Amino acid sequence: MRNAILYERKLVQTESAIDVQTGDFNPLSAPKEWKTIEIGPCIFHQFGVDVEKCDESIASYTTAVVEMPDGELRNPPVAMVKLLGEVPDMTLISKTSAETAKDCEVILNGVKKMEGDISDSILLLESFAAPEYPGEPVDKKLQAVINTLKKNLNLIENLT
């Protein structure tokens, strides 16, 4: 989501609708032109597509799905939206301290389970790596895996 500004194209009078020669009010005779007018701030959600019937064919064009401050959703042509900065993720801001503490507890329980799993893996691998008779060479790759697991286990123990 991003902050944005919505614009709209309108046909507006460029001069007075009063006929200078006769003094009559006639809005249909007043000169008009298309102008881009700022509607106001909005939140851009995503791009979309819309279609328009033209004579005997259909034309599609890219749109922007935007949300107005009052919650109204609009689907204007993409050229009518100016994108600004990012909108912060309010779900991160709205978490209570109790929810955050619960999240931390879940993570800590997961880390403790991982610690037990790594300890079990080390014991199992060490049983495979132990030579059957004196003088038998140790599998260097297996020993490297065991050493790495032990380092990770030490890191986890220091965290908890």
Task: Show me where the domains of the chain are located.
Answer: 2-87, 94-159
pLDDT in tens, 105-136: 777 777 788 888 888 888 888 887 777 777 77
Give the SS3 label for residue 45: strand
How large a percentage of the chain has pLDDT more than 90? 6
pLDDT in tens, 44-66: 988 888 888 877 778 888 899 99
**Confidence (pTM):** 0.43
Give the pLDDT confidence score for residue 76 in this predicted structure.
92
| Confidence category of residue 92, pLDDT binned at 50, 70, 90 | very low
Q: Is the pLDDT higher at 137 or at 44? A: 44
Contacts of 5 (CB under 8 A, 6+ apart): 38, 39, 40, 41, 42, 81, 82, 84
